[in-house]
Each structure stands twice: as structure tokens, then as C-alpha cells.
Amino acid sequence: MRTVLAKNQATVCLRLVELRGYAETVALEGVIYTARDAANLLSEALFLACKDGEIVTLEKVRVDMERLSLAVASVLVDELDSKIKRVSRLEGLVKSLRGEHEDLIKLMLTKQSIRQLFVASDLALAPPNQESVNWRSSLSALEDAARSLREMEAYLRKLADSPLGSYFAFPDELEFIECSRERLQKSFLRSECLRSLYRADGMLGQLLELNEDFDVDLAWDIVDELVHCSKMAESGSGCILEQAMALAKVGRLFHMGLKLSSRAQPYLLNAMKLAAAISEVDGTAFFSQAWYIDAKTSLESIREQKAAADKENYDKQREPTLLKLKPKLDALDKAIDPAGVASKVAKAFNLAKHICENLQGKNETSMAKFTTAVEDLPAQSSDDFNKMLRKALLKAAMVYHPDKNDDHGLEWKVLCEEVSKRINNATCDLKGFC
């Protein structure tokens, strides 16, 4: 009889807490007070049902306790904007329950606190503006979550050793604890990575303030911090963004500060690849974020510098080769326009005929197609002559294209470059005649 009475009284309090307009009538304090009464009454009913072996009632009370914890969390979400204030209210409610048989409801309320703390941590790490990540708030919330998780484990141990342990196995709570441990580990790691990035940014600020002398030792300290952050992020899942940011900042410092472009490029490339992978998975765009813009700018600058250096080096190697090829190129130009008065069509025909007879291409198949096209040209008076000549020269372009002749030595490649220039000019001249 006492069990039924406690259960019925608890049900009344529970329904009041679940009632959407109740908080507007009695304010938040009134809801918390009613929830405390419901928790006390449900705990009493649970104890009595356990004592009398009423298994059906035990299960009903447990369900009601779960409903109560969810209802309290829902009211707090509606009434309080701050996640931390919600947690404070939940913890206050738990502390106010001082009976001997209230571990189960404390367990469920603590579970709701942990959920709110994870939400607070996630929001601190993922604000609308990525540059304003608050790792301090995240770490604080995670430390509170870890403490609450230990309390939840303590409640579970006490329940397992109590008479209730013979009725309930608590599989959902055990799974929640296991998942929360994994989540804590990942979130702690991400927060630590962000703290490391914050430290590196602080040192970078000091470095930029040194207008007169560039502090190389400080620069290398920043590199060490960022590399440590990158390795830390790589060691756990869910920290790809932090790894990308660390790599991008290392590459940027190598490029702009230490002037070591060759060391900067691998870091920048890896940062871009990670950013692309993130975008492919969840659609995140980084085009407006400073770290991404800086990394992309540095990478493009390094590529331009390398291309310029490669061209300069190639031009130096090319000059003596051009001198060596001068007789052959002069002969080609002489053959194209022997008297200096040939028409564009005549020049194009003379070019095709000369290279076909005197400059045998290395690709036998392509060369055979070009030779056949030249041999099959109709009479110059034919309406199709210009069109067929242009097609023959396009086949010649495939034979002497420099990118297709890298494997036959510098002299042959330079010759192909010069021949290709003349072929391209001739095909352009023929456009107006086709």
C-alpha cells in the first residue's frame, strides 16, 4: 500500500514537471522543487517495491525516473540559454537528494548533466567563426564531464551492490559510460590540439612584433610547437582540421619566416589535402579562413618561384644547344621561304615537306601517319589542299610536341620546341584559308 501511495504521489509531481506551461506558472525554482519531490517519492517507491519483490512496479518506477530526468533536462533547456547553468541546476538537484535509496535517480540526472557538458564542449570547439574557438571553455566542460562520469560510475557500483543489483543490469548506462569515455578522450585531444595552436599563435605574435631582428630561435620554437600539435592531432581520430591548421602554419612559417621553401611545400601540400578531405566528407569550405588563405597563397608562391627557377635553369642549358642547332634551324627556315616572298600556304607546305624529309620523328607510328598525310596531299590547285595541309601539320604537331619528346635528350627536345613553334604558326596562318 505504501508503495502504491508513493508511486501515485510521484506520478502527480512527474506530470507537473512534464507539463509545458508549469514552469511559466511557478517559475524555474518551483519546477526544481517539484522535481525534487518527485525524485524522493520515486526513490521511496523503488525501495519499497524492491523490499517486497514487486518486479513490475520496479520497472515502472525506473521508467518514471527516466521520464523525470528527461523532463527536468527539457525544462532547463527551455528556461536557460547557458549549458553550464543547466548543468549547475542538475548538479544542485542531485546534491539535494540525500536519501539512502536515491542512487538510481542521481545516476539518471548525472547522465543528463554529462550530455549537457558534452554539448557545451562541442559548441566551444565549433563556433560559427572557426577563428573564435574557445578551447578553455571546452576543457573546463570536459573536466566537469569527466568528474560527473566518475560519479556516475560510483552510483552504478553502489546500485550493483544493492538489492536492486539483482533486478537490474543497467546495460544502457554501461554503454553510455563506455561511449562517454571514448568521446572524452577524443574531445580532450582536440582541445589540447587547439591549446597548442593557441600557444603557437601567441609566440608567432611575439615574433611579428620584432621589427628589427628576426628571432630564429623563437621561430624554431614555434615550429616545434606546431609539429607537436600536428603529431598529437594525427594520433587520434576527429582532429583532422587541427592537424591541417598546424601543418599549414608550419609551412607558412618555413616559407615566409625561415625562407625554407623546400621544407615548407610538403607541409602546405598535406594541409591542402586534409582540407580537401574534410570538404569531401562534410562539405565544409575553408576559402574564407585565414589559415587556409595563407597556406594557399604560400603554396602558389612557392610553385611560381620553382617554375621560374626551373625555367631560368632550363634556359641556361638551352642556349648552347640552340647555338649547336643553328645550322639545322637556318636550313629549315631557308626551306620554308627560299626567296623570301612565299605565301602563307606555300610556307606551310614547304615546312611540312622539309620536316617530313629531313627531321625524322622518334615516334614511328605518329611519324608514319604524318608522312602519309603529306604524301596524300592533293594538287595545290585543289579546293581541299589547304584543309588537308592543315590536317597534315596537326599530325606533325603530335610528332614534335616537346612534352612527347622528353626522353631523347636535350638537343632533340630543343629542336622539337623550335619545330613546334613553326608548325603552330603555320597552322594558325592556314585557318583563314580553310
Average pLDDT rounded to a whole number, residues 344-355: 91
Assign 211 a pLDDT band (cuts: 50, 70, 90).
low
Residue reference for cell 607541409:
267
pLDDT value, residue 128:
47
Whether the per-residue pLDDT at 209 is higher than 80: the answer is no
Assign 132 a pLDDT band (cuts: 50, 70, 90).
low
Whether the per-residue pLDDT at 1 is higher than 70: the answer is no
CA 309 to chain centre: 32
Q: Residue 277's closest CA among 300, 233, 243?
A: 243
pLDDT value, residue 24:
77
pTM of the predicted model, to two decimals? 0.67
Rounded Cα distance between 432 and 153, Å, is 86
Rounded Cα distance between 25 and 14, Å, is 16
pLDDT tens, residue by residue, 63-104? 999 999 999 999 888 888 888 888 888 888 888 887 767 899
Whether the per-residue pLDDT at 307 is higher than 80: the answer is yes
DSSP per-residue codes, 375-415:
HT---TTSTTHHHHHHHHHHHHHHHH-GGG-GGG-HHHHHH
pLDDT value, residue 8:
86
Rounded Cα distance between 154 and 177, Å, is 11
Whether the per-residue pLDDT at 320 is higher than 90: the answer is yes
Whether the per-residue pLDDT at 354 is higher than 90: the answer is yes
Of the chain, the percentage scoring pLDDT greater than 70 comes to: 96
The residue ranking higher by pLDDT, 364 or 212, is: 364
Residues 116, 83: contact at Cβ < 8 Å? yes
Task: Enter the C-alpha cell of residue 88.
Answer: 549547475
pLDDT value, residue 130:
53
Assign 271 a pLDDT band (cuts: 50, 70, 90).
very high
Assign 127 a pLDDT band (cuts: 50, 70, 90).
low
Whether the per-residue pLDDT at 129 is higher than 60: the answer is no
pLDDT tens, residue by residue, 373-394? 999 999 888 888 989 999 999 9
Rounded Cα distance between 314 and 306, Å, is 12
Whether the per-residue pLDDT at 275 is higher than 60: the answer is yes
Residues 6+ apart with CB under 8 A from 393: 348, 351, 352, 423, 426, 427, 430
> Coil, strand or helix: which one is 170?
coil
Rounded Cα distance between 226 and 239, Å, is 14
Whether the per-residue pLDDT at 245 is higher than 90: the answer is yes
Assign 433 a pLDDT band (cuts: 50, 70, 90).
low
Task: Enter the C-alpha cell of residue 394.
Answer: 596537326
The residue ranking higher by pLDDT, 23 or 112, is: 112
Min mean pLDDT across 60-69, 73-82, 207-216, 262-271 is at 207-216
Assign 28 a pLDDT band (cuts: 50, 70, 90).
confident
Among the residues of 53-162, which ranges form H helices?
A: 55-79, 83-96, 103-125, 135-161
Whether the per-residue pLDDT at 261 is higher than 70: the answer is yes
Whether the per-residue pLDDT at 372 is higher than 90: the answer is yes
Average pLDDT rounded to a whole number, residues 168-180: 91
Looking at every residue in the chain, the average pLDDT score rounds to 88
